[in-house]
A and B are shown apart, each in its own frame.
Chain A
Amino acid sequence: MLLVRKITLAKWEGEGIPAGGIPADEVTVDMRTSSNSLSLWRCEIGAEEEAALAMAAASGRIDIAWFPDEGLQAQGLVLENTDGNAPVVDLVKQHVDAKRLDYSRLGQLAILVHNAIATGNFKRLPNR
């Protein structure tokens, strides 16, 4: 299975940041937590666009990045299924929260998203 996170692609370009560094905006803007939890969506490999549908808002476009969910719990990350605020009812149950995040665990997730983008596991999708 994959975990998908909504992002703002341009922020992950990290202009002016040394190669391999994770720009602070990535973390403070795109990895914003609520109650120390980060919202993610789960989907089958190859079904990333379905996850994007779950995050879809009224208009515009949507940027997503994805990474495999294997090994995350072994790294101390707590994943909990929670109902998502998806416009498509069938997708509500695909939502998962990465819970009890601290500075270091949030950083681990930021690295996963960063690596996902570096390896081409991202997409900008029309949101209609």
Chain B
Amino acid sequence: MVRVTGKAEEDPNTNRIRRLHLVDIEPLNIQSERPPGAHADFWRQPIFAEPARPARKTEQRDAANEKRLLMRRSLLAAFESDPVEDGINHSAEKIIEKAVKTMAVEPVLEWLRDFSLDAENPGFSASVLRCLGRQSALGSLSWRMSLIRDGQAFDSVEIRDAAVQTAESWGEPEMVSILAGHSEKKPWLREYIRDVIVDSRGLI
């Protein structure tokens, strides 16, 4: 019999254990070390149980994670089926609209922010951002400003471009300072930002 110690790596999306890293294997001679009820292949079971938490909170968190995953999958499917095009309504807009109307707003805004600022999936993020630009009065002004500011800081030109388009679409004068404060390396995007700033200043 051996004692196996390891480190658990959690999946941030599901909060379930994704991977176990072996730290140590120590031989044991004591029969009583075997967990009660353990059978011959007990070592196949996860080394660590989930940390004890009040059941209600865990259930709530699981339900929220489930909804988040479902929303992400719905958006991915919508973008896979049809790319976002200027001037053409997209089914993802309805998904976002419905989520904001039917679920607790704060977590939904947090999910949308995560989806919009995902460096691993710039195409997906850019599409979400562009659809957010088609929602009126989504979140607070500071939430919207922070989204644009953070979007512009990405390495991906797709996300940066989508952030500018979203700012333009929201058309809020407060966005001008964010756009003006950004130093853009792509000439065509720099020119576009300049145009948006000029147009926005014309509206003030």
Contact = CB atoms under 8 A, between A and B. Distances in A.
Interface of A: 8-11, 13, 15, 25, 29, 32, 56-62, 122, 124, 126-127
A124 B189 CA distance: 9
B152 interface: no
Nearest to B86: A60
B158 interface: yes
A20 B85 CA distance: 26
Nearest to B80: A28
Given A32-B83, A124-B188, A57 B88 contact: yes
A29 B157 contact: no
Q: Which has the most chain B C-beta neighbours within 10 Å: A8, A25, A56, A124?
A: A8
Nearest to B162: A10
A106 B87 CA distance: 26
Interface string B44-85: 000000000000000000000000000000000000000101
A59 B85 CA distance: 11
B116 interface: no
Interface of B: 83, 85-88, 122-123, 126, 155-158, 160-162, 165, 168-169, 186, 188-189, 191-192, 195, 199
Given A9-B188, A15-B156, A15-B157, A60 B87 contact: yes
Given A25-B123, A61-B165, A126-B195, A13 B186 contact: yes
Contacts of B169: 59-60
7 contacts: A9-B161, A10-B160, A13-B158, A15-B155, A60-B87, A61-B165, A126-B195
Chain A interface helix/strand/loop/mixed: mixed
Nearest to B123: A25
Contacts of B87: 56-60, 127
A4 to B, nearest CB: 15
A126 B198 CA distance: 12
Contact of B86 (A11, A15, A29, A59): A59
A107 to B, nearest CB: 19
B161 A10 contact: yes
Contacts of A10: 126, 157-158, 160-162, 189
A60 B162 CA distance: 12
B91 to A, nearest CB: 16
B83 A29 contact: yes
B162 to A, nearest CB: 7
Q: Which has the most chain B C-beta neighbours within 10 Å: A15, A58, A61, A62?
A: A61
